[in-house]
Amino acid sequence: MSNEHPSGIGEHRLPARHMLRGLQILGALLAIGGGVLGRHAYEVDRLEFLRAYLVVYLFYLGFALGSLGILGLQYVTGGRWGVVLRRPLEAAASTMPLMAILFFPIAFGVHDLYEWTHADIVAKDALLAQKAGYLNEPFFLARAVAYFLVWIPLAFFLCQLSRRQDTEPGASLDRKLEYLGRGTLVVYALTMTFAAVDWAMSVDPRWFSHIYGVRMIGGQILTAFAFTVAVTVALSRHEPLSRLITPARFHDLGNLMLAFVMLWAYFELSQFLIIWSGNLPEEVTFYVTRSGGEWKLFSLLLVVLQFVVPFLVLLSRPVKRNPGTLALVALLVLAMRLADIYWQIVPSFQAAVTPQWVFPVLLVGMGGLWLTIYVWQLAAFPLLPTSDTSLLAED
């Protein structure tokens, strides 16, 4: 479908035979299969199901929330790099209502997942008793509701104003989007800081990190950006995007992915150095657990494959200008983002690295469902902002 716009770009939408359409159908089938097997896993071992579900949920939440953060950043900073990514980012951010629905198993399973919900344990632990004013079930659930009541409207209005630009271009909407982008960044940073503590850090309620929320935000931004780069590569293989998304723009995206990889590494190193140099038992045990036994090799591979390899590869100009190789790096980063979340959560539950069979079932099932909704959102609107003439500028 293509209707010429005065800007000359044209309202080109996702082709009916695009590979993403095929992935949408496959995703729907995987979601159904994953739902059936997941229900069986829940009945067989509720606790194992919920632990795996938490890891998988936090991974896919990063796609939606990270995209929301990048959209806010793009409207504040400007730049042509964000124009080619805008529609894929909006499609991901628009899945926020789905993520709210998918939070229900965690809400209903809070007593199984979090030790601080057990009154008998809290009564015997002075540290947990001190945190009971914050870590209690009613307040936990109220905060979760508040987060989604903020995130969903933010995503909705960012997307709506952006799409209005296609038919009502002008400085007024540009200013509104810039102001909304600023507010989005502030609100996202504040709410995700608390959500990271609630949903991830409190799995081990005796451990804490002052920059855990910042670390989680950096990881979500990297997750969303790597995914969007991979989608952009897939979109660029077809006209007219193959003419508009040039090697120079891929070079820009490669530079930004390198920057986000380095930002994640900076947050991770900062947390490690602060905790390790302080050498406090209630803090350092987090790294002691993950640097011994089966987790030692896993931790080393995580550093090498999530930072060292992408960092060295993305220094290469030819790699960043080649869509195929850039997509491979993005997929590697995505895989390592999942591994990183697994590394954060699972050692609090088990000493073994190997996941239970329910983990891949939930990963594929939830991923299939999310991808189905994502492609549906992506196909509903033009793939490029038709009012943005910067797409026509020469590189």
Q: 117-139: per-residue pLDDT in tens?
A: 999 999 998 989 999 999 999 99
Task: Give domain status of residue 196, yes or no.
Answer: yes
- pLDDT of 102 higher than 50: yes
What is the rounded CA–CA span in Å between residue 62 and residue 328?
A: 19
Q: 51 or 166: which carries more pLDDT confidence?
A: 51
Task: Give domain status of residue 6, yes or no.
Answer: no
Task: Give domain status of residue 219, yes or no.
Answer: yes
Q: What are phi and psi of 315, to 5 degrees?
A: -75, -20
Task: Give domain status of residue 159, yes or no.
Answer: yes
- Work out how many domains the chain is built from and give that number: 1
* List of residues 6+ apart from 83 with CB closer than 8 A: 384, 385, 388, 390, 391
Q: 373 or 294: which carries more pLDDT confidence?
A: 373
Task: Give domain status of residue 395, yes or no.
Answer: no
Task: Give domain status of residue 9, yes or no.
Answer: no
Query: Tokens for 77?
Result: 């900073």
List Cα–Cα distances, 71 to 14, 55, 95, 121, 337, in angstroms. 21, 25, 14, 43, 20
Which 3 state secondary structure label does DSSP give 281?
helix
Average pLDDT of the chain?
89
Task: Give domain status of residue 221, yes or no.
Answer: yes
What is the rounded CA–CA span in Å between residue 369 and residue 95?
A: 10
Confidence of residue 358 (pLDDT cuts 50, 70, 90): very high
* List of residues 6+ apart from 136 with CB closer than 8 A: 116, 117
Q: Which domain holds residue 294?
A: 19-386
- pLDDT of 107 higher than 60: yes
Q: What are phi and psi of 186, to 5 degrees?
A: -65, -50
List Cα–Cα distances, 45 to 39, 42, 148, 357, in angstroms. 10, 5, 29, 11
